[in-house]
């Protein structure tokens, strides 16, 4: 493995100074809670990648399919945030929506499809995020930059994982637009004007 590959094993630190101190996030969440969960992920990925390197195995983001890696980032954050914010819990319903719920709002903190809570998404894309249903929902997107399983074939050099920004907003059905033949919807430009939180 190259020196660049070795350097790429260690994700870049979360920039504390980049958070918006005036961000208004519901259910008792603060930017500090988000930052701590993001730092946990950075530590986790760095540890895993160093272990993989010791076994001469590619970094996690370099062999997982892009969608699978993004999903893993989102799932990790959904599990980590309630460690730091005691007023939210991870939705205990399998594939339930939204991902984070206000603690005690639903029986057993479990709901198939609730109106209160925060849906989480992690993405390499800076905009144009998609969902399966256009709906009224508080959405939070963790945007990151990282290599993918396609990069080596495209000649893209190794680079360390880094969080680019976090955006959050209460979206309404009118903020979504049907994305074509698929069953997914994309956030329209009106939805992006409501972003509240950036790093």
Confidence of residue 185 (pLDDT cuts 50, 70, 90): very low
Token match 């370099």: residue?
A: 62
**How far is Cα 164 from Cα 15, in angstroms, rounded to an integer?**
9
pLDDT (tens digit per residue) in 14-48: 999 889 888 889 999 999 999 999 999 999 999 99
Res. 184: pLDDT tops 80: no
Res. 133: pLDDT tops 60: no
**How far is Cα 168 from Cα 26, in angstroms, rounded to an integer?**
10
Q: Which H or E run contains 84? A: helix 66-84
Pick the CATH number of 3-192 from 3.40.600, 3.30.1180, 1.10.3470, 3.40.50: 3.40.600
Stated pTM of the model: 0.86
């Amino acid at each position: 493995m190259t020196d660049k590959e070795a350097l790429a094993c260690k994700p870049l630190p979360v920039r504390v100074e980049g958070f918006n101190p005036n961000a208004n996030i519901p259910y008792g969440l603060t930017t500090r809670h988000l930052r701590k969960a993001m730092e946990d992920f950075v530590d986790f990925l760095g540890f895993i990648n160093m272990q993989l390197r010791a076994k001469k195995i590619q970094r996690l983001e370099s062999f997982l399919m892009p969608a699978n890696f993004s999903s893993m980032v989102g799932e990790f954050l959904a599990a980590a945030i309630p460690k730091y914010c005691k007023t939210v819990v991870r939705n205990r319903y399998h594939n339930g929506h939204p991902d984070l719920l206000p603690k005690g709002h639903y029986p057993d903190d479990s709901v198939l499809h609730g109106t209160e809570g925060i849906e989480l998404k992690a993405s390499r894309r800076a905009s144009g995020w998609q969902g399966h249903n256009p709906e009224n929902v508080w959405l939070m997107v963790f945007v990151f930059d990282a290599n993918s399983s396609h990069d080596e074939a495209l000649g893209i050099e190794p680079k360390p994982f880094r969080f680019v920004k976090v955006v959050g907003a209460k979206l309404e059905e009118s903020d979504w637009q049907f994305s074509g033949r698929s069953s997914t919807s994309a956030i329209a430009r009106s939805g992006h004007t409501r972003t509240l939180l950036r790093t």
